[in-house]
Structure 1
Amino acid sequence: MSISIPARRGPGAVARLLALTLAAVVVLTGCGSGSSEPDTAKAKAGAGQGAFPVSIKHGHGTTTIKAKPKRVVAVSWMSLDVVAALGTVPVGVDKQWGGDKQGYTPWFRSTVEKLGGPLPETLNYGDAGEIDFEQILSLKPDLIVGLYSGITDVDYKRLSEIAPTLPYLNKPWDGGTWQEMTRTIAKAMGETEKAESLVTDVQGRLTAVTDAHPEFKGKTFTYGVALTPGSTELGLYLNYDARVRLLTEMGFENTPSMKSIASTAKGTNWYGGVSLEKLDTIEADLFVGWANGSDEVPYTLKDPLFSRWKPIAAKNYAFVQDPAMGMATSGPSVLSIPWALKRYVPMLADAVAGKGSTGADS
């Protein structure tokens, strides 16, 4: 089996952390159902007025932030966009897949420039994806955010020795919707009013898309990855994946075959797969695909099994192959969505119209 699935967080691997014994910012943590309950009154006050302390529940328990953070390290996709959009330049960020040679996406770079910079330090990782904790320690963060990550319980406890840490909210690689991620980070940073303004603006842009393209409404889709030599299966993303959620916000509906796809997912994987010989069992009016290079799209479209699949034969497909577009639509945020829509929407419109978009000009 060969499924070409893009890395979830860019060039680095999944969860990556090592131990340091520090006297650092005190963090209230708990695991599972035994975690301490946050002080509801204080949490509400923090959410409404930017007051501290605030407590936030997540997949590893509860984290308490005692004072407004000034030095933030972002160890996952999207989190750095939210921090910058809220008016704070992070001091350390993951090098972004799809970014420029320095690892910064165009929407993040332009936002930091508007804030007066400087651009943050990019984080180092080992060959197996291990975080460089000494580097993070040297950045002296007072908040670490990694909502879109696979941080383990052990990793979380070690990161929390450096600074209050926000890992994924629900399960590995599921930080919630872009709206939830924005509001969660804003609560931690005491910027909830600014967050609501950002969410309202971006939500309005998505609503404008659905209003301008009624043909999107009700069209079923599945989102997958382009084939590569040796592929015998088509990798397909699950319904909670960020790139899938973005399409549903534009009026599209998830494939009725999602249960079948989800049944093939292993462990904490955010994708499943279907044999190319059984593609006709996957129902979809539209296929949206991610390609890691221009040569993958023609290769995929020429595959004899893939080419006979209903949405492909009818040219109801759109491929995203530009790296920046891939990042913008794979990790949608309050910064990347506005940047992506003007490029993404015409591609989707062509796909619905049976014109088959290869994303060559995206």
Structure 2
Amino acid sequence: MSTFTPARRGPGALARALAVAVAAVVVLTGCGGNASDSDSAEAKPGAAAAGFPVSIKHGHGTTTIKQKPKRVVAVSWMSLDVVAALGTVPVGVDKQWGGDKQGYTPWFRGTVEKLGGPLPETLNYGDAGEIDFEQILSLEPDLIVGLYSGISDVDYKRLSEIAPTLPYLKKPWDGGTWQEMTRTIGAALGETEKAESLVTDVQGQLASVASDHPEFKDTTFTYGVALTPGSTDLGLYVDYDARVRLLTEMGFKNTPSMKAIASTVKGTNWYGGISLEKLDSIEADIFVGWANGPDEVPYTLKDPLFTRWKPIAGKHYAFVQDPAMGMATSGPSVLSIPWAIERYVPMLVDAVSGKGNTGADK
């Protein structure tokens, strides 16, 4: 059975996994005619689009896009944001965790409305996460993009029969940094210069956050997930997770204490766990956490083992409760980062200053 499970890496997935048990290299090549990979020229960031065909290497091989795509299906997270930011309204997208009743995030909906295009059709999945290939076929795409996904060999072959498909770049559920994703999709759409401009702009916004808040510089942090009834371990995200990367781009420093936990992470997991009784071994100035509902933060802040941990005892914490904020910071993109900054920064200021921020109404 072919399954995709688009929500596989949602913040709640970590909590569920812990209840049961306790960056990518991008190669873009532009080629003409039937040129092989060996004689393809590498597409350099910032260079003008080399034209089509364009070949892009990824975890399942190489995909060649013969002409500029006009009908794009974007599966999973972030890819749809990049496609829209580059000026193309996708014809099909996944319903986004943290989105509105129709499944669209505010930053994606707003961008589509500015482009004047209709909102895309949302994709269907079976109970076990099976891809609805017939639906995708009916959308008549000329490109399928799912950089932040776990598209299997079987799914990739079937999707490629429908249209050129870009799955994850190196390993499942690791699409690279948001910068790499933007540049890769920019090459696929023939919008290399525009992609580089977007990257430069958003990097500038993040750099401004760091310069405007010198108190963030080298402040150590660890990013985890709120506790749930019965929790005996705290789930913590490792350094290559997108949530962690985003904080480092604002000037924060991932605590060196996470290295021991990261060394135990196997396969494609993006998190580790530590017993609440051993939390003192994690030295961090602040704790940033994600909560899967309004009841989890109060529960977490009443746990006697958790609250004696230094960053919590000193009220150096911030929790992300709002689903849209959770999505924006868990799957950062050139669209979601600007939307999130104005909401995220005040929460982080509270954490650094020892005011504590539960994320209520944020």
TM normalised by structure 2 equals 0.88
**1:346: Cα distance to partner?**
0.6
Does 1:277 find its partner at 2:269?
A: no
Task: Give the direction of change, closer, same or farther, for the CA distance of 1:327–1:65 in structure 2 (3 Å limit).
Answer: same
Verify the 8 A CA contact 2:79 2:148 in the aligned structure 1.
Answer: yes
Task: Give the direction of change, closer, same or farther, for the CA distance of 1:239–1:45 in structure 2 (3 Å limit).
Answer: closer
Q: Partner amino acid for 1:175? A: G
**1:41: Cα distance to partner?**
3.0
Verify the 8 A CA contact 2:217 2:251 in the aligned structure 1.
Answer: yes
Verify the 8 A CA contact 1:147 1:169 in the aligned structure 2.
Answer: yes
Task: Give the direction of change, closer, same or farther, for the CA distance of 1:56–1:232 in structure 2 (3 Å limit).
Answer: same
**1:44: Cα distance to partner?**
6.3
Rounded to whole Å, the distance in 2 between the matches of 1:143 and 1:153 is 17
Does 1:135 find its partner at 2:143?
A: no
Verify the 8 A CA contact 1:222 1:288 in the aligned structure 2.
Answer: yes
Task: Give the direction of change, closer, same or farther, for the CA distance of 1:280–1:42 in structure 2 (3 Å limit).
Answer: closer
- Residue deviations 1:336-359 (CA, integer Å, cap 9, x gap): 000000000010011000111111
**1:170: Cα distance to partner?**
2.1
Rounded to whole Å, the distance in 1 between the matches of 2:276 and 2:227 is 10
Q: Report SS of the residue matched to 1:302.
A: coil
- Equivalent residue, structure 2, for 1:22: none
Verify the 8 A CA contact 1:46 1:52 in the aligned structure 2.
Answer: no
- Equivalent residue, structure 1, for 2:125: 125
Verify the 8 A CA contact 1:91 1:121 in the aligned structure 2.
Answer: yes
Rounded to whole Å, the distance in 2 between the matches of 1:261 and 1:46 is 37
Q: Report SS of the residue matched to 1:222.
A: strand
Rounded to whole Å, the distance in 2 between the matches of 1:113 and 1:347 is 29
Does 1:108 find its partner at 2:95?
A: no
Rounded to whole Å, the distance in 2 between the matches of 1:294 and 1:253 is 28
Verify the 8 A CA contact 1:202 1:337 in the aligned structure 2.
Answer: yes
- Equivalent residue, structure 1, for 2:258: 258
Map 1:57-206 → 2, pairs under 5 A: 57-206=57-206
- Residue deviations 1:184-228 (CA, integer Å, cap 9, x gap): 000000011111111111111101100100110101111111111
- Residue deviations 1:129-151 (CA, integer Å, cap 9, x gap): 11111111111111111111112
Rounded to whole Å, the distance in 1 between the matches of 2:147 and 2:182 is 10
Rounded to whole Å, the distance in 1 between the matches of 2:174 and 2:318 is 25
**1:155: Cα distance to partner?**
2.2
**1:265: Cα distance to partner?**
2.6
Task: Give the direction of change, closer, same or farther, for the CA distance of 1:39–1:136 in structure 2 (3 Å limit).
Answer: farther
TM normalised by structure 1 equals 0.88
Runs of 4+ in 1 over 4 A off after TM superposition: 9-12, 42-47
Name whichever of 36-45 and 219-228 sits farther off.
36-45
Verify the 8 A CA contact 2:12 2:292 in the aligned structure 1.
Answer: no
Task: Give the direction of change, closer, same or farther, for the CA distance of 1:10–1:128 in structure 2 (3 Å limit).
Answer: farther
Q: Report SS of the residue matched to 1:89.
A: coil
- Equivalent residue, structure 1, for 2:361: 361
Does 1:8 find its partner at 2:9?
A: yes
- Equivalent residue, structure 1, for 2:332: 332
5+ residue gaps, structure 2: 1-6, 14-35
- Equivalent residue, structure 2, for 1:219: 219
- Equivalent residue, structure 1, for 2:302: 302
**1:47: Cα distance to partner?**
5.8
Rounded to whole Å, the distance in 2 between the matches of 1:200 and 1:38 is 30
5+ residue gaps, structure 1: 1-5, 13-35
Rounded to whole Å, the distance in 2 between the matches of 1:69 and 1:278 is 52
Q: Partner amino acid for 2:201? A: D
- Equivalent residue, structure 2, for 1:30: none
Name whichever of 320-329 and 169-178 sits farther off.
169-178
- Residue deviations 1:210-266 (CA, integer Å, cap 9, x gap): 010011010111111111111111111111111110000000111212222223434
Name whichever of 39-48 and 307-316 sits farther off.
39-48
Verify the 8 A CA contact 1:265 1:273 in the aligned structure 2.
Answer: no
Verify the 8 A CA contact 1:38 1:62 in the aligned structure 2.
Answer: no
Verify the 8 A CA contact 1:50 1:191 in the aligned structure 2.
Answer: no
- Equivalent residue, structure 2, for 1:17: none
- Residue deviations 1:151-203 (CA, integer Å, cap 9, x gap): 22232222211111111112211111111100000000001111111111111
Name whichever of 234-243 and 84-93 sits farther off.
234-243
Task: Give the direction of change, closer, same or farther, for the CA distance of 1:280–1:173 in structure 2 (3 Å limit).
Answer: same
Task: Give the direction of change, closer, same or farther, for the CA distance of 1:251–1:43 in structure 2 (3 Å limit).
Answer: closer
The alignment's C-alpha RMSD in Å is: 2.1
Rounded to whole Å, the distance in 2 between the matches of 1:302 and 1:353 is 21
Q: How many percent identity over aligned positions?
A: 85
Task: Give the direction of change, closer, same or farther, for the CA distance of 1:122–1:270 in structure 2 (3 Å limit).
Answer: same
Q: Report SS of the residue matched to 2:63.
A: strand
Task: Give the direction of change, closer, same or farther, for the CA distance of 1:45–1:347 in structure 2 (3 Å limit).
Answer: closer
Task: Give the direction of change, closer, same or farther, for the CA distance of 1:295–1:245 in structure 2 (3 Å limit).
Answer: same
Rounded to whole Å, the distance in 2 between the matches of 1:45 and 1:247 is 24
Count of aligned positions: 336
Verify the 8 A CA contact 2:147 2:166 in the aligned structure 1.
Answer: yes
